[in-house]
């Protein structure tokens, strides 16, 4: 097993590279010897996934748009108490090492991801787990918790939204052209996808967001979130430029058994920028009786 080099630029919805202050020391490398990264065939798709830890509490981590195991959840893989938790992370279909297939941005692709994730957990013989979902992965986690409650212990989401607004689309428009990204940001993602595929993925993602706005009045899963009854922790960065506070407030209002915690100095990537406090807060929530 090897670890991806951590990046040093701002994380946005499409870019989930670690910040430069997270360094893999000898201690971390020793912790990572128990990691298994493998491909599992699910519904004729080869899904790349990672497992580590020996704890009784299984936690499934879901990356965001274009995100992968290592770009999105390195601080959790190395930072969680692996005597208490067992961590599972996937590369969503069409991202990272779960290519092929080509990412298919159909209008219900996040719900489809949730169904595929449920099948993956079944293949891995994990009957019940908690969910950690960021950004698009947070939306997938909402679908999972609503549709498969018997298989979910607790839910943690951040940077996620159940609906879209014109304000959201305007924010996405500003980061659509990869040529306008910083050199470090662009090169890091091009190392995974190449320039042509990277821009294509961004374009297709943006197009499906516009289609959801135009054909569903922005409804991604608004009607579904009220079905979530498991204990839920909603986290939010007060300075998130992509997911305004209205979204976490909506989730908190309609998910009955939920708590809301605001990172006052946080943006979209609170689990990376404030990884130590994030990990502590989330682990305490997951272990609450």
Q: Active-site residues: which are they?
A: 135, 240, 268
- Around 202, how many Cα atoms within 13 Å sit in the side-chain half-sphere? 24
Query: Can you tell me the distance from the alpha carbon of 76 to that of 209, in angstroms, rounded to the nearest whole number?
Result: 29
Q: Is 49 helix (H, G, I), strand (E, B) or coil?
A: strand
- Taken in order 9, 15, 21, 25, the sign of the CA dihedral is negative
Q: Which two tokens stand for residue 90?
A: 């996937």
Name the DSSP class of 60. E
Q: What are phi and psi of 226, to 5 degrees?
A: -70, -15
61 sits in the region (left: phi over 0; alpha: psi -120 to 50; else beta) called beta
């Amino acid at each position: 097993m090897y670890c991806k080099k951590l990046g040093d630029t701002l994380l946005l919805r499409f870019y989930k590279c670690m910040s430069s202050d997270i360094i893999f020391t000898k201690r971390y490398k020793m912790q990572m010897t128990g990691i298994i990264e493998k491909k599992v065939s699910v519904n004729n798709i080869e899904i790349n996934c990672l497992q580590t830890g020996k704890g009784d509490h299984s936690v499934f981590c879901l990356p965001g748009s274009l995100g992968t195991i290592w770009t999105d959840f390195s601080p959790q893989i190395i930072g969680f108490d692996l005597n208490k938790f067992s961590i599972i992370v996937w590369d969503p279909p069409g991202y990272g090492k779960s290519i092929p297939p080509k990412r298919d941005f159909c209008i219900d692709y996040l719900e489809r991801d949730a169904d595929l994730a449920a099948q993956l957990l079944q293949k891995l013989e994990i009957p019940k787990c908690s969910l950690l979902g960021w950004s698009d992965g947070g939306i997938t986690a909402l679908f999972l918790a609503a549709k498969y409650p018997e298989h979910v212990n607790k839910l943690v989401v951040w940077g996620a939204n159940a609906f879209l607004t014109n304000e959201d689309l305007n924010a996405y428009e500003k980061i659509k052209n990869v040529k306008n990204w910083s050199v470090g940001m662009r090169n890091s993602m091009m190392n995974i996808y190449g320039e042509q595929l990277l821009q294509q993925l961004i374009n297709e993602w943006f197009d499906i967001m516009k289609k959801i706005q135009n054909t569903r009045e922005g409804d991604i899963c608004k009607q579904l979130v009220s079905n979530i009854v498991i204990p839920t922790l909603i986290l939010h960065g007060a300075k998130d430029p992509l997911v305004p506070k209205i979204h976490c407030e909506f989730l908190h209002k309609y998910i009955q058994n939920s708590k809301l915690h605001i990172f006052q100095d946080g943006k979209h990537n609170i689990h990376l920028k404030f990884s130590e406090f994030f990990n502590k807060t989330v682990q305490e929530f997951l272990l609450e009786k």
